[in-house]
Structure 1
Amino acid sequence: MNQDYYKNYYHLERNHWWFVVRLEILKQELQKIAVLEKKSKRKILNIGIATGKTSEMLSQFGEVTSVEYDAVCAEFVRQKLNIEVIEGSILELSFEENSFDWVCAFDVIEHVKDDKKAISEMNRVCRNKGKVCITVPAFQSLWSHHDEINQHFKRYKMNEILNLFDLQSENIDNTSSFKILRKTYFNSFLFVPIWLFRKLNFLIPQQFIRKGSGSDFEIYKENRFLDSILKGIFRAEKKILQKNISFSFGVSLLFFIEKQKYRD
């Protein structure tokens, strides 16, 4: 990737309806955890920071260590935001065991083939009673050109995430390594139109509907009216999530757990 791509992505992360409201939802759900913890200071690891907007948000909750796999992206963020970014992979984190209070990877797991190893590494560097927080794209039926452009390996269902954490049953006993704090799909109200759009995509030559990087994000960014409507719909969903109501389907999936103990 080049600097022009990251300049464009930087704008998307701060203006596009999906990025804007997703960040609001993440902050809202993390705030619930922060209130229960009653901590004034915490060490936070943010893996796969892209152009840094999630690290900016997380800095409201503690001291953030930012990790990014792509060297060009890491350098772009250093220059743009004047923050330290460590180049590294979620599959081989360069930190000791039990180093962080929160370990976050927002839309990162789907980018690695060995997702089990990624979760194991997040667990390893998380402290006992610390939190592991992830989001991933949901449902393989939504697979499209957007996933291919963004180098995804797969999309997930909730039971697959439970399996990654060895939490196959919702009735987890006291010997489990994790306690589930929050699990829900989100971007649910727009699931059907997005599903239809992506299915129709296979029938239309991509050059007629996609520009720039070719991802779905490029399609909406110039249409302010549509962007405003989509933000409104997504924010209505945010209000429901605020009440700790969970959705049984959606375009994305959110999963927050508390580490009980480390288990090989």
Structure 2
Amino acid sequence: MDLAYYQDYYKLERTHWWFVIRGQLIQRLTKQYAAKNQPLRILNVGVATGRTTELLSALGEVTSVEYESSCCTFLREELAMEVTEGSVTDLPYQDGSYDVVCAFDVIEHVEDHQTAVAELQRVCNPNGLVFVTVPAHMLLWSHHDIVNQHFRRYTRSELTGLFSEQIGKIVYSSYFNALLAGPVLMLRWMTRLVPKNWVRSKAGSDFTILADDSLLNKLFYKVLAAEVKLMPRVSLPTGTSAFCLWQKGAAALN
């Protein structure tokens, strides 16, 4: 990827309604479920242009991992952010190294997602937390998934099922972006009928369709912000994304 792509994506991660709300969700749930012994040792796998690392840094010391070498270069040269180039399927860390292990919209990019989840669990310490988000429902599959190099989208049960092989428990899972799932589905179907470059900018995904200062961007933010306030009291029955928080069993390394 070239510099212009990452500059475009950098802006999206900090201004687009979906990214902003996802960031609030990440902070809210990490504070709720992570161990209270601050500061936390946090591993953030698949950091993209770094916004999730910035958010998690308020909770502890964050180690950032990114697969794409060009993205690592962007982070180092443009943001002066320390990052390790590596893969979620082969993390270069010892067993039980981190209190919180995160992979936000990462494992859908990996063909062997079971190995990816096993690696996240391996480097998590006993009683630590693994926090994963993914795109939901193959019904929503579109050019957005293709350009972002996804292998699949998930139901919530498919996501939680990936965590069944090690000692631990799901402490909370849900869909999110439920209130806008219908409009997003309609948008995905409608954009199949027009040339892709009519509605998308450099990054190429559906995230680029709305300008960050548009009325719809602001409206969608308010709608989804109301939804996040319900969490973690409820688990939403559907949505465009899903997430899972898994706590490692204390006996897992014994």
| TM-score bracket relative to the smaller structure | over 0.9
Q: Deviations over 1:167-192 (max 9, x none)?
A: 7xxxxxxxx71111110000000000
Structure 1 position 102 matched with structure 2 position 100: yes
Residue 203 of structure 1: CA displacement?
2.3
Look up the SS of the partner of 1:240 in the other structure: coil
Residue 251 of structure 1: CA displacement?
0.3
Q: Which amino acid aligns with 2:4?
A: D
Deviates most, 221-230 or 191-200: 221-230
Residue 79 of structure 1: CA displacement?
2.3
Where does residue 170 of structure 1 map in the other structure? none
Counterpart CA distance in 1 for 2:195 and 2:12 is 24
Residue 239 of structure 1: CA displacement?
1.3
Alignment of 1:50-69 (within 5 A): 50-69=48-67
Q: Which amino acid aligns with 1:28?
A: R
Residue 25 of structure 1: CA displacement?
1.2
Residue 60 of structure 1: CA displacement?
1.1
Q: Deviations over 1:111-145 (max 9, x none)?
A: 00000000011111111111110000000000000
Counterpart CA distance in 1 for 2:102 and 2:195 is 37
Q: Deviations over 1:214-233 (max 9, x none)?
A: 21011012552111111111
Moved over 3 A (4+): none
Where does residue 24 of structure 1 map in the other structure? 24
Counterpart CA distance in 1 for 2:159 and 2:215 is 36
Where does residue 147 of structure 1 map in the other structure? 145
Where does residue 125 of structure 1 map in the other structure? 123
Q: 5+ unaligned residues in a row in structure 1: which ranges?
A: 168-175
Structure 1 position 82 matched with structure 2 position 77: no
Given the superposition, is the C-alpha separation of residues 46 and 147 from structure 1 closer, same or farther in structure 2, using an over 3 Å criterion?
A: same
Where does residue 222 of structure 2 map in the other structure? 232
Alignment of 1:8-47 (within 5 A): 8-34=8-34, 37-47=35-45
Look up the SS of the partner of 1:220 in the other structure: coil
Counterpart CA distance in 1 for 2:104 and 2:197 is 29
Normalised TM-score (structure 2): 0.95
The answer (yes or no) to whether the contact 1:78–1:84 under 8 Å persists in 2 is yes
Structure 1 position 258 matched with structure 2 position 253: no
Normalised TM-score (structure 1): 0.91
Where does residue 194 of structure 2 map in the other structure? 204
Q: Deviations over 1:70-123 (max 9, x none)?
A: 111111112233221000000110011111111100000100000000001111
Counterpart CA distance in 2 for 1:10 and 1:208 is 21
Q: Deviations over 1:42-70 (max 9, x none)?
A: 21100000011100111111111000001
Where does residue 246 of structure 1 map in the other structure? 235
Q: Which amino acid aligns with 2:182?
A: V
Q: Kindly tell me the number of residue pairs found equivalent between the two proteins.
A: 252
